[in-house]
Structure formats: structure tokens, C-alpha cells
Amino acid sequence: MSSVAFVIIAILTLAAALAAATLQKLMHAALSFAATLVGVAALFFLLGAEFVGLVLIFVYIGAVAVLIVFTILLTRRDVGKDRGANWTGALLATGVFGGLIWAILKTQSVAIVAPHMRSISVKRIGEALMTSYVWPLQCVGLLLTAALIGALVLVMEEKR
């Protein structure tokens, strides 16, 4: 696994994530969120899970990011700006970050290097989905149908 590529992609992803959390202009923050997701997908590619990276791009950027920008558009009555990060939020987030980093750096058993592995093939994922994970697959299908119907019902205009 190439470490130069990893460091560059990680820095870009974190920069985009910070931009998404702190930018004032709404649309820019939403588009930085999409850039963060591209970075996370690239990290998945580097970690050998290419199928998941592609699914992430497809679902998140193709659907969720478009949903988010549409909703920003539709609820844009007052202002195109938002107050950025404020003090209590930043303090809490930094506190959580510090605590987790301390826990990670203290654990010696995670200071390991990646074992040699070929990327997982789509065929194996398909086999696993249809044999060991077939119940979660059906449940997720049901959940997605319920979410679809629920979202439609929520935004339907009430009949007078």
C-alpha cells in the first residue's frame, strides 16, 4: 500500500471535512462534504475494498449529496450563510478527538502493518451476500422501501 498516496489523500479528505464543518456559505460546505466523500472512497480503494468505494461514490455522491443540495435550495428562504463553528462545539469536538487519539496511541496492539492481501473480488462479495448475509439483505430492502414511502408521505402536501 503506497504511503505517499495515503498521506496526500488523507490530508485532502481532512481538509475538506474541516471545510464542510466550518464554512459559512452553505453551498460551499455542502460541496466540500461531497469532496470529503470522494476522499473517503479513495481511502477505501487504497485499503483494498474497491467495490465498497464505488458503492460509496454511487450512493453518497450520486444520491445523498444531490439530495442535500436540493434541500438547501428548497429551504432557502432567509439567508445563504450560516454561522460557522462556535466555541462550545469546537471545544467538545476537540475534546473527543483528543481522548480518542490518546486511546489509540496508547494501544500497542494496533501498531501493526497491513498483511499482504489481494483486493476482495466482487464475486466473493456477491456470494457472501446471497448465502450468509441474505437475511440482512432482505431486511435492508424492506428498510429502503419503508424509507422511500416514509419520505414521500412526509413531504406530500396535505389534501384539503
Rounded CA-CA distance 65/73 in Å is 12
CB of 78 or CB of 159, closer to another protein: 78
**Shortest distance, position 132 Cβ to another protein, whole Å:** 8
Rg (CA), the chain: 20
CB of 113 or CB of 159, closer to another protein: 113
**Shortest distance, position 160 Cβ to another protein, whole Å:** 14
Rounded CA-CA distance 52/56 in Å is 6
Residues in contact with 137: Cβ distance below 8 Å, sequence separation at least 6, in sequence order:
129, 130
- In contact, 19 and 29? CB cutoff 8 Å: yes
- In contact, 123 and 50? CB cutoff 8 Å: no
**Shortest distance, position 98 Cβ to another protein, whole Å:** 9
CB of 122 or CB of 159, closer to another protein: 122
Rounded to 10°, the helix 3-22/26-46 angle is 160
Question: Which residues partner with 81 through β-bridges?
Answer: 25
- In contact, 39 and 6? CB cutoff 8 Å: no
**Shortest distance, position 29 Cβ to another protein, whole Å:** 7
**Shortest distance, position 22 Cβ to another protein, whole Å:** 7
